[in-house]
Amino acid sequence: RVGPPASAPRARGSGARPGGDGRQDSGRGEPKTLWGSSEPRPPGAGPGQPSPQQRTETLGFYESDRGRKKKRSLPDLSLLRFISAELTRGYFLEHNEAKYTERRERVYTCMRIPKELEKLMFFGIFLCLDAFLYVFTLLPLRVFLAMFRFITLPCYGLRDRRLLQPAQVCDILKGVILVICYFMMHYVDYSMMYHLIRGQSVIKLYIIYNMLEVADRLISSFGQDILDALYWTATEPKERKRAHIGVIPHFFMAVLYVFLHAILIMVQATTLNVAFNSHNKSLLTIMMSNNFVEIKGSVFKKFEKNNLFQMSNSDIKERFTNYVLLLIVCLRNMEQFSWNPDHLWVLFPDVCMVVASEIAVDIVKHAFITKFNDITADVYSEYRASLAFDLVSSRQKN
C-alpha cells in the first residue's frame, strides 16, 4: 500500500516524547522535563506553559531555582558588603536561653558571695573570740570548782563516788598546761628576738614569714590531735584495755606543743611589728602580696561542698589570728610610746591596709571557687547552721 502511515510507530528506546516535540533523552529511557531535570513535571503545567518556580530549603531558608542560577559574581563579594553584613547580623540569643540564663545566675552568685561570706566570717570570728576568752574567764573558775571538789569530796567519806568527772579532769589538765607554758614564756627574751629579726634583710624576712604561716597550719592540725589524745587518755574508762603510752607522756607532749605554738605566734607578731616599724613599707607590701598567692593555689582546684567548708573554717581561723597579731603589734607600739593616742593614728592606715587586703583576697578566692565548681551562695548559710549546731552540741551536758 502506498502512502505514509497514520502515525509512525515509536522506536523502542528512541526516547521520543508523546507530544512530538522531537526531544530525546540520553538513551536510558528516562524522560526529561522542560527545565532539564529528571523530575516529573508539576501538575497543571502543560507543554506550552512556563513551569512554576521551585523553592529549595537550605539551612532554614528557601532559595528559588531562579535565584540559585543568578549567583553573585566575584566582584560583588567586596569588603564593603562584608562590613555591612558584620554590622547588621544578629546573635540569636533566644536559641540558647538555658545557657545564658545559667550564666546570668553565675553573675548574681558572684555578687552575693561577699555578703554571704562576710556573714559567715563574722559569725566564725565571734566563735573564735568566744573560745579565746573562755581560756581566760571561765576556765579558771572551772578549774577552781574542780579542785574544790577534789579536795572536799573525800572529807565527806564518799568513797564510792568518783572524785572528778571527765570534764573536770580535762579542765584541770588545761589549767596546768596554761600555767606551765605561762612560766616558760617568761624565759623568752622578746627584745632580743625583735632585734634579731630586724637585722635580717627583706627577702629573708619574707621567707621567714611564709615559713611561719606554713608551720602554723601544720602545728595547729597536729596539735589538736595531741590535746584530744591527752584528754581521752586521761578520761578513758578503766574497764577498757588501754593501748597507750600513759597520761604523763601525753601531758609532756601537750605542754611542748603549746609552748612551741606560743613561740611561733610570738615570732609572727615580731615579724609583723618589724614590718610596721620599718621606714619603707616594702616588707609590709611584700607580706600583703603574699595573700594573693592563695588565689593562684586555690581557685583552679576541684572543690566539693565539704572541702569548701573546711577551707572556710581555715580562713576564719587565719583571719582571727591576723587580728590577734595586729592587736599585739598595736599594743607593743603603744607601750613604747607611753600609750600616746596620737601614735595610734599613725598605725591605723597600715592596719586598715592589712585588713582590707585579707578581706579582698578571701572574697575573690571564694567567688571564683564557687563559680568554677557550680556552688551556690546559699551554701554559706548551711555552713553557719553547721557551726551553730556544733556550738550548741558542745554546750550540752553529757
pLDDT of 379: 93
119-131 per-residue burial string, b: 16 or more CB within 10 A, e: under 16: ebbebbeebbeee
171, 139 contact by CB (below 8 A): yes
Dist. CA 12–CA 240, nearest whole Å: 111
Dist. CA 148–CA 172, nearest whole Å: 11
Report how far apart, in Å, the C-alpha atoms of 297 and of each of 109, 226, 306 are.
Answer: 22, 29, 18
pLDDT tens-digit map of 16-34: 444 444 444 444 444 444 4
23, 17 contact by CB (below 8 A): yes
Domain ranges of the chain: 279-390
169, 244 contact by CB (below 8 A): no
CB proximity list for 52: less than 8 A, separation 6 or greater: 42, 45
Dist. CA 304–CA 345, nearest whole Å: 43
Of 134, 133, 180, 173, residue with least CA distance to 150: 173
95-109 per-residue burial string, b: 16 or more CB within 10 A, e: under 16: eeeeeeeeeeeeeeb
The whole-model pTM stands at: 0.72
Grid cell of 243 as nine digits: 593501748
pLDDT tens-digit map of 240-251: 656 667 889 999
Of 294, 325, 126, residue with least CA distance to 214: 294
CB pairs under 8 A, 24+ apart, for 248-254?
250/226, 251/173, 251/177, 253/226, 254/173, 254/177, 254/226, 254/227, 254/230
Dist. CA 74–CA 324, nearest whole Å: 76
- On average, the pLDDT of the chain sits at 78
Side-chain-facing half-sphere of 71: CA atoms under 13 Å = 4
206, 284 contact by CB (below 8 A): no
The alpha carbon of residue 75 and the mean position of all alpha carbons in its chain are separated, in whole angstroms, by 56
95, 60 contact by CB (below 8 A): no
pLDDT of 274: 87
pLDDT tens-digit map of 197-208: 888 888 888 888
143 φ/ψ angles, rounded to the nearest 5 degrees: -65, -40
- Local structure of 289: helix, strand or coil: helix
226, 250 contact by CB (below 8 A): yes
Residues of the chain above pLDDT 70, percent: 75
Residues of the chain above pLDDT 90, percent: 28
- pLDDT of 76 strictly over 50: yes
228 φ/ψ angles, rounded to the nearest 5 degrees: -65, -40
pLDDT tens-digit map of 269-296: 998 888 888 776 777 777 777 777 778 7
Grid cell of 141 as nine digits: 573558775
61, 55 contact by CB (below 8 A): no
- Dihedral (CA of 227, 193, 205, 352) sign: positive
Surface-to-core class of residue 357, CB atoms within 10 Å of its CB (0-12 exposed, 13-18 middle, 19+ buried): middle
Angle (nearest 5°) at CA 385 between 384 and 386: 90
pLDDT of 381: 93
Grid cell of 36 as nine digits: 532539564
The alpha carbon of residue 32 and the mean position of all alpha carbons in its chain are separated, in whole angstroms, by 71
Dist. CA 373–CA 124, nearest whole Å: 23
Q: Which residue has the higher pLDDT, 231 or 159?
A: 231
- pLDDT of 7 strictly over 90: no
223, 261 contact by CB (below 8 A): yes
350 φ/ψ angles, rounded to the nearest 5 degrees: -65, -40
